Amino acid sequence: MTLTRRMILAAASALAIAPVAASAQDTIKVGEINHYKRMAAFAEPYRKGIELALEEINADGGVLDTELEFVFRDDQGDPAEAIRIAEELMTREGAVMLTGSILSNVGLALSSFAAEKDYLYLAAEPLADSLVWGSGNPNTFRLRASTWIQAAMLAEEAAKTDAVKYATIAPNYAYGQDAVAAFKENLTRLKPDVEFVAEQWPALFNIDAGAEVQAIERSKPDAIFNVTFGTDLARLVREGGDRGLFDGRDVYGLLTGEPEYLDPLGDEAPEGWFVTGYPWYGFEDGTPEKAFVDAYMDYSGETPKIGSLVGYLTAYSIAAAIEEAGSTETEALIEAFEGLEIPDTPIGTLSYREIDNQSTMGAYVGTLALEDGAGVMVDWEYKTPDGYMPSDEEIMEMRPAD
């Protein structure tokens, strides 16, 4: 922590400055902003994961001997609406910090807003690398494994094959752009003779799958890197399957193995793709992963999604930071998050790196197969970010000075 920040922290503590003093409330409130209608398939399991964690945390005494509460708001996937809600949550609702967002453009807007207003924002779900690197700031921390980490894991597998010519397809916004750039950089480093023969950039949730498939086919790639998700993924899989785009080609899919996006494909789920995802159905009894799955299913009556896990880890990260800070002051919470460690989570010890405010959450990687008419991940493993991150020196060059 810089000397300037220590001075601010001391001054804030002396003057008892906060959006709303926690001692004046019956609960400690966290403002949660997300796209509950626009992206319900991800956002609702995420919310249930938070609610399960809150039930456990509050049953164990809450935080600072006070009940922890999340105030949920829907921003409709609109960055401007998210900022309006964020200001309301902090100044009217008495939230001590902000969290949430799935879409990276919304997350980036909230991050800039938090830095401007000196609020704390935990970007639970946005994946764009710029959140903690190019546009990083001291007030923003990120939970999920970034596009760089997941793309690097896929590139490592791709480099083992004979494929040389690659086509990419990704939604045309921060997440998709960062994912393609990360895959290209990592694969080129591992396999210098690789060639990218086509890049397709459909508008988010507005893909013309027929045109995209034709464009990729014309480029005659050996392999494909796919970053589409949701309804865009479903259309691409259906159209590409009908036209034989994937026949005889290796395909690498970022997020494709996540139940939110894999389950709706049903028996149309592609086989043989190497993907990142969440194979909750493959966890062994007696493991922390399986214990979470069982607890979530008992609580919700539903099978978990990756969003369920992210929501659960979000609530526990925030609870741990507040306890570590011993306060709900913004500067104290920022200091607590830097290097914070949360042991005994479903993925083991989770921590937040001081160098870039990125958590050490990893990703599950494996191959898609069809079982009983549904897509599943097989031959999967959980990988931590170790060995997939840029060097500390490279990160410092990318990240603005605090």
Rounded Cα distance between 303 and 175, Å, is: 27
Rounded Cα distance between 65 and 176, Å, is: 42
Which pLDDT tens digit goes with each residue over 130-175? 999 999 999 999 999 999 999 999 999 999 999 999 999 999 998 9
Burial of 12 (0-12, 13-18, 19+ CB in 10 A): middle
Which pLDDT tens digit goes with each residue over 102-136? 999 999 999 999 999 999 999 999 999 999 999 99
Query: For residue 88, how many C-alpha atoms fall within 13 Å in the half-sphere facing its CB?
Result: 13
> What interhelical angle do 288-300 and 40-59 show, nearest 10?
100
Enumerate the CATH 3.40.50.2300 domain ranges in the chain, comma separated.
3-146+286-362, 148-282+363-393
Query: Which run of H or E residues covers position 351?
Result: strand 348-351
- Do 169 and 138 meet the contact criterion of CB atoms below 8 Å apart? no
Rounded Cα distance between 334 and 332, Å, is: 5
Rounded Cα distance between 258 and 279, Å, is: 8
Which fold does the domain 3-146+286-362 belong to in CATH? Rossmann fold (3.40.50)
Place of tokens 């040389």: 164
Q: Which residue spans within 194-287 are E strands per DSSP?
A: 195-200, 223-226, 250-257, 274-277
Rounded Cα distance between 263 and 77, Å, is: 23
Entry pTM:
0.92
Q: Could you list the mean pLDDT of each consecutive 10-residue stretch along the chain, which spans 402 residues?
A: 39 40 72 95 96 98 98 97 98 97 96 98 96 96 96 98 98 94 98 98 96 98 97 97 97 97 97 98 98 98 98 98 98 98 98 97 98 97 96 94 68
Rounded Cα distance between 333 and 327, Å, is: 7
Which residues lie closer than 8 Å to 287 by C-beta, 6 or more apart?
none
Task: Record the tokens describing residue 389, joined without a space.
Answer: 């991150």
Looking at domain 148-282+363-393, what is its CATH homologous superfamily? Response regulator (3.40.50.2300)
CA distances to 248, 309, 321 from 107, in Å: 38, 19, 20
**Pairing mode, strands 363-371 and 374-383:** antiparallel
